[in-house]
A and B are shown apart, each in its own frame.
Chain A
Amino acid sequence: MGPNSAIKRTTKTEFDANSSTLEGEDPSVGNANFWDEFFLLKPKLNNIELEMSKLSVEQLMALQPRLNLLLCRCHDTMSDDKSIRAVNAAQTFCGILKGIYAKTPLSEQVLHFVFGLETSDAKFQSMIEQINIHLNGEFPQTLKSVCLKLLLVMATGTDNVSSNKLLEYLMVHSIHETLINILSNVSLRKLFGHEAVMLLTLLVNYRKFESINPYMVKLSILDDELALHGFGQVVGVSLAEFNNRFAAEIQEAHSRGIISALTSAVGSFFSPEEVDSKSASIRANIGMLLALYEAAHLNRNFVATITQAQADLVNKKSAEDSMTEETKDTEDQIMSDLSSGSSNLLVTFLEYCSILMQETKSEASCNTVKLCFIILSCICEDQYANSLMHDANFVFSVTLHRMPMRHRKVPPQKLSTSPRPLACAFLDLMVEFLVSHMMKKLPLELHHLCLGIIHRLLAYQKRSRVRLSFPWSDLWSSLIALLKYLLANEANMAKRLNIFSVCLQVINVFNLFITYGDTFLSDPASYDCLYYEIIRMHDVFEGLYSMALRYSSIENNEFKDYALKLTHALVNIRAIINHFSPKIEQYMAANGVSPLTEEQVLEVVRLNYQSLTLKLQESLDQYERYSEKPHQSFFTQMVSFLYWKLQMFFPPF
């Protein structure tokens, strides 16, 4: 029992009590080794936080010099070559910083409490440098992990990322390279990839609408294929986990044997009773979705990665195993690789979307779906991604989950087709959205995005003359069904919702087919089929026209302009109906049959193209490129979602 251990014990109790460390005399007076020994002890973060939470703001103010001293010591000790001290120091820092943030959301005050205003710049700079060294060098995992936690605590200080003053230091002293390094290194990525992606996402969102954000710039020009691959992999793993969890629940319900159980399983996955787990499961991925969005929106190289990266998405574990047992590489590994199946991030993401889409009742879930659709739009705008998605040699089978609905006779839970180009899966997903979201509380914005995605794909096909083999009639009938639904619910929708702009989008898609069908349809028969569908459903189009005409003549109608445009857009469809209707009647009269079979109508169509003239409509294949600007508040909201999620995620150290 030397004097040293006695000191240890006292400091430990002091530290446990925390307040004594904070309030008493400077404990290092008369004991030169105090801090060295102090940081050999593992901090009890719960106690720190508990103690801090007891303090009032005034008490905290009073403690400020002492906090400064302690945190400065933490800062100094973080560069200690004994990693245990560095770890403990960083952890103490984390705990206290979190405590401070909890007390005062004001950034100025936080700075004041941490190092004091005068020395903040230099201290933070050296601290960030030190963290970079720890993360890049050969240091123990615990140290790296606690450094990342510290960064995350810094980044999640306030619910509005942009008002977090501490991040200004991270803007000036970049950790971008360090994070990228983590993502490109396999073993580091496995350990810290999630944290790195979260941090990058938060940092990119720091005042991105106001100033030049260096992280945004760097992320946008990042061309390190490995880092991008790593980024995609981290996102993919967590999306795939979600997909698997969903599939497992369905499976479980299925094994219970009753068909009705199926519906309840899907219901319960999003059910109100399990509201916590539900929002947790959705929000758990908000961070990943935001990360995916930032990367897909900012970085065009990433779009290539999305489509190409054949991530070992699910078998995270087996990859780790292979790391440890390098020698045992042959058969076992091959088999374990196989079990995971093959996939890429986009395939996983499409499946993920198909699950999320099933629940759009609450605003939060609606927002998540919106984010997904925005990501899909970004991907559809990219030429390179499009060229890959339409490549007939680049095929995947995508599993799309379908919502059980009453009017579907046998609800196929899964729609897993033979491998096709990815554009087909995109279109399938959109069709599925259209048919499953004709609801009273119409998520109009989602419909806009959905139709926008379809339009973008068609515009690409038209420009590049890609003839995708896709059952277009699925798309046509779902679009017509949507129109029909809107018409039927005109009374309670037309006043408050701009259904005319949605209709306009639908009609524009039809116009693309009518006018430019020769450039992207795969055979003449499908062009005939298009006319057949239009003629068959002529009531809907006529109804739509009369509705549009009505609303365009109502003065003071806020949607008047849209209604007017809609009447113009319908010109060719009306021409087609007017042209063929008499021909069909003639045919019926001549042959004495009624009603006609599909074959007979098609024959009439084929024979009577000659005399039909169409008006060339302007810029059908032009679309407004996605811009983040109008969605500013949406993204601020999403990022603060992320903040809450991380808050929930972080308390236990």
Chain B
Amino acid sequence: MASRASNGVTAPIMSGYVSEKGGIRSLSKHTILEEPANTQSGQGDAQQEVPPQKKESLLLRLFECKLFNMSLAIHYLFKSKEPGVLMYIVNKMFDFDSSDVDFYMPQIINMYVQIPEMAEALHPYLVHRSRSSVEFSLKTAWFLDAYSPGSMSPGSKRKTHATKLRNLILTDQLRPKVQCHFKQLRSHAIKSEDSTKKKHQRSRSDIVHSNMMVVPESATETWPVKENGTRNLGDLSSGRAFDNGCTCFTSNQGIYNNLKGYETSCTCGAPRLSPELEFVKCLIAIGKRLSAMKSKEAKTERLVGELSNLNLNLPARVWVPLNFSQHHVVRVPPQAGVVLNSKDKAPYLIYVEALEVENIHTSPLYPKLSCTLRHVRSEENLGDSRSVPESMPPSYNSFTTVGNLDIENADCWSQDDDEISLAYTRRAPITERDTLSQLSIDSVTSTESPVYIAAADIRKRLFDNTHIQTSSFRRDPEDPSAAALKEPWEEKVARVRESSPYGHLSNWHLLALIVKCGDDLRQELMAQQVLTNLQHIWETEHVPLFVRPYQIIVLSKDSGFIEPILHTVSLHQVKKHSQTTLLEYFYSEFGPPASEEFLAAQKNFVQSCAAYCLICYLIQVKDRHNGNILLDNQGHLIHIDFGFILSASPKNLGFESSPFKLTQEFVEVMGGLGSDMFEYFKILMLQGLVAARKHSDSILSLVEIMRCGSQLPCFKSGAATIQAMRNRFHMSLTEEQLQLLIDNMVESSFHSLSTRLYDGFQYLTNGIL
């Protein structure tokens, strides 16, 4: 379909292209002179030699050459003002891999919202993708909401084109073409253009058509049910809050398809987007309610309850909109939810049990399961009012006269007892666990010889058991996230899996998700784009720097989802719980100074620290207190929270004037000033900066597009923001000069008084160590 659409429009565009030579010429001249280093090889140089009158074709040649990728397309989309060029690039976008395009969604939507002529060009693409993909529809709707200027007040008379598109998507008018086709068939208005439709498409719609013809009654019959279904949408107590009333899967045809392994697609016209929309809305609403609770305990308690309520409505055709593979959410283990550290907002972390499926929209839902252990016991208990034979003396199993009978009796419970207790005793070895109980049982059977135990032994065992050194942090009601995040992921998965009724399924997965509301994640998203971009650059340039970008979904101006970084704890938590220096912590976590594990961790630390130092410098990341810096289980340093970047800094107190945060402790882990690893650190920074400089245009254009029309605090210095950022790439310096620059920056950061001051400030105001 994509190729058809683009081919169809290419011809007129190209003709328009030729007719507007002048515009093209000026444009191409402008851009090609500024051609960055990334159109490598001799091609770029050759182009410069070409006489002016042939230049118009150069842009075209660039667009058609293999090197023309999405990054360049975005760049030229933004630079160009020519409708023809815009149309041409948008048409090219149909050919790009959709995941490549998706990376630039914030830029695309921002341009769509801010620049009317761009909107015109981009509109067909957005509509086309929205039709074919529910995920894309949702993302587009969320971004449109987030990037639209001002409030979307319903009172304002003239709806902007963005609002219109958003409404179009949300009212589910952009359904796959098949549906429209079907409608046309039904209204007997089959148009001649039908014949131009692609073959497979028509045949598919024919199938749909015939299905509907065979069972027209069932379609009408299901209406009341569907009404019922949609009425419950969003009502958590109904148990069907995420049920759009689609009956296609429960219909005979659906069951038949399932048995035969055919794909079922929804033809009943139930709202496609609403289940996921409701799911997301519900998660955000939980966050809002949590933020109104006063204490952390109350929040935690509330969260557990909210999640159990949510659970009633699962499984459903909903998914976690981060880039996991296709899945249906089946359960949210309530006890695993954690409220994260934040002063007045209530971001929270949830773990989500999901079943991987082939296709979210066409795979059948897994039926609801409850805890399987239960049944046996219910029936058993039912029996106990009658099953005890009358002849049995009533006291036969009172505690003082226990015989083997009672133990046998106990055995029939023991299986699930053990299953459950296993979850709790996993870590503690259970070898000596029941020797005493066993003894006591023995003593019952041989009543004559009493068994004696020493009180000292009991106390010693108690002492030993409660003083087992564990690597986990103790649970702290004020900071529940520390213990939850420190728990090794594998253990957590095993634990949840064991207690889940769905755990036995082979396609069961545990996903994690941070829900933030009240926070603007748009800057954060842009920072992550920059991070991802740098990661690619360093990878292609073979610079061994480590970056860990995390996924972000912006849902609106003040809410969104964040992918939690697993296996990490913040430096603040490390300090609080281990009460030692970072280096000591490294020793205790990874091993003694010369051990292989420690060296590997140290290397990881240096590579990641260098990367993040560069990033902090390039995009001026501020608010670098220890709560925002994580350490993973391999020693990587990972920065989070990019709420203050570019021209924004917290409260503008003038703290954090150093280029980046490099503390005494960091350097200590590297081996101290002048050590080999410290030198390696500086070399890495230089290599990283050189590589980033080479590709600076792609990074800059990412940021620049977002600046347009933006109210974000990071752009409050206006155009100067971009210029300042461009300057930080130091295009004019030689490598030697860069080397000097890095040395200076490291020096001044290391000796920075303000870093220490800022940490002190954070400790005083927020209690962050």
Contacts and interface: CB of A to CB of B under 8 A. Distances in A.
Contacts, number: 242
Interface string A496-533: 00000000100010000011111101111001100000
A13 interface: no
Contacts of A625: 384, 397
A322 B388 CA distance: 50
Given A300-B374, A616-B451, A419 B420 contact: no
Contacts of A419: 297-298, 300-301, 477
Nearest to A621: B437
Nearest to B463: A524
Contact of B336 (A209, A393, A395, A624): A393
B239 to A, nearest CB: 4
Contact of A225 (B312, B384, B425): B312
Contact of B305 (A184, A329, A344, A516): A344
Given A184-B239, A527-B458, A619 B441 contact: yes
B234 A326 contact: yes
Nearest to B368: A225
A650 interface: no
B444 interface: yes
B425 A622 contact: no
A217 B459 contact: no
Interface in B433-452: 433, 436-437, 439-441, 443-444, 447, 450-452
Contacts of B505: none
Interface string B72-85: 00000000000000
A463 B436 CA distance: 11
Interface in B330-373: 334-336, 368, 370-371, 373
Interface stretch (B103-111, B285-293, B715-723): B285-293
B378 interface: yes
B301 A334 contact: no
Contact of B308 (A138, A299, A300, A309): A309
A5 interface: no
A609 B234 contact: no
Contacts of A256: none
A367 B189 CA distance: 76
Given A517-B462, A615-B450, A310 B308 contact: yes
A278 interface: no
B381 A298 contact: yes
Please tell me the size bucket of the interface on B.
35 or more
Interface in A283-309: 297-301, 304, 308-309
Contact of A618 (B239, B428, B440): B440
Interface stretch (A260-268, A464-472, A590-598): A464-472
A628 B384 contact: yes
Contacts of B289: 334, 337-338
Given A310-B305, A419-B301, A624-B398, A465 B425 contact: yes
Nearest to B297: A419
B214 interface: no
Contacts of B385: 208-209, 627-629
Interface stretch (B140-148, B399-407, B731-739, B746-754): B399-407
Interface in A352-402: 382-384, 387, 391-397
Contacts of A612: 454-456
Contacts of A233: 237
A617 interface: yes
Contact of A229 (B312, B382, B454, B459): B312
A226 interface: yes
B302 interface: yes
A564 to B, nearest CB: 10
Nearest to A462: B437
A625 B405 CA distance: 13
Contact of A300 (B302, B378, B428): B378
A552 to B, nearest CB: 14
B440 A619 contact: yes
Nearest to A391: B335
B304 interface: yes
Contacts of B459: 517-518, 524, 527-528, 609
Contact of A221 (B378, B388, B440): B378
Which of B224, B234, B371, B466 has the largest number of chain A CB atoms within 10 A? B466
Interface stretch (B161-169, B410-418, B568-576, B661-669): B410-418
B420 A383 contact: yes
Contact of B475 (A301, A392, A517): A392
A337 B289 CA distance: 8
A323 B406 CA distance: 53
B440 A616 contact: yes
Contacts of B232: 186
Contacts of A492: none
A197 B689 CA distance: 71
Contacts of A330: 285
A216 interface: yes
A524 B413 CA distance: 31
A278 to B, nearest CB: 32
A199 to B, nearest CB: 20
B452 A524 contact: no
Given A394-B335, A518-B458, A220 B378 contact: yes
14 contacts: A225-B312, A229-B239, A322-B235, A334-B285, A383-B416, A383-B421, A392-B475, A397-B298, A419-B477, A523-B462, A610-B454, A612-B456, A625-B397, A628-B384
Interface of B: 224, 231-232, 234-235, 237-239, 285, 288-289, 292-293, 295, 297-298, 300-302, 304-306, 308-309, 311-312, 334-336, 368, 370-371, 373-375, 377-379, 381-382, 384-386, 388, 394, 397-400, 402, 406, 410, 413, 416-417, 420-421, 423-425, 428, 433, 436-437, 439-441, 443-444, 447, 450-456, 458-459, 461-463, 465-466, 475, 477, 480
Which 4 A-B pairs give the minimum distances between C-beta atoms?
Answer: A310-B305, A518-B462, A609-B456, A464-B421
Given A343-B305, A627-B384, 17 more contacts: A216-B382, A300-B375, A301-B378, A309-B308, A312-B237, A383-B417, A384-B373, A395-B477, A419-B297, A464-B425, A523-B466, A609-B455, A614-B453, A616-B452, A620-B399, A623-B399, A629-B384
